[in-house]
Structure 1
Amino acid sequence: MVIDKMLAIQAGIKKEKLAIALEPEAASIFCQKLKTDRSGNEFDETVKSGMKYMVIDLGGGTADITVHQRKPDGTIQEVVSPSGGPWGGKSIDEAFHKFLCEICGTKVMQDLKSTELEDYID
């Protein structure tokens, strides 16, 4: 975290304008101004004071989950600390590849990858 701050300052970001947040907090803050329905309501109009909501980050390698609560003053409080595991998209890809190897055989999958890479990726 200290290195991140030093690099940001070196890049010209003023120290008093710099805040570093974890992904779930950054996502939660970003979502505060998203439209949440077709009538144009924003998140902060939908999630009222006291309501809890889940922030789920489904990345390539991991899935991270936390719970936040909107406080009466409009701030956000973390209710459940971030947790998760290696359940991101890569894990699904790997499991599917293993499944195909069990059905077709590892050699067939290797041959497909080396001769028809586009089909293999699809």
Structure 2
Amino acid sequence: MERRRLTLTEKLAIMTRQARCPVCGEKLGRLEDCEFDHEIALARGGEDSLTNLRAIHAVPCHLTKTSGTKATTRGSDIHEIAKERRVKADQDDFRRRLLAKSGQAEPADETAPTQRKGKWPKRSFRS
């Protein structure tokens, strides 16, 4: 999905609408020190509209919201997107196994996830 390019007027309207960084709560300051972030990420189904955009400090607030801290990604956009994909893959796999067990045919789906790689190797180690 192509992201929209914000005009200077739209950026100023977003900044005057909120005036404070939603992550740290401090005043936003200059336009050059801010980045514009989707409140609900596009990858999670958010809209690319002015109502879903918000101004946020470039560093470290935007980086923390998107990628998480150095210690963990929990609560970040990347973490939430990966979790949604894992849950969807698990649900699709469960549905496929349930249908196979009951003998019902499942329609061919080219986007069906492949089997997840296990943590342990399939063969034993040789010394």
Q: TM-score, normalised by structure 2?
A: 0.32
Q: TM-score, normalised by structure 1?
A: 0.33
More strand as a share of residues: 1
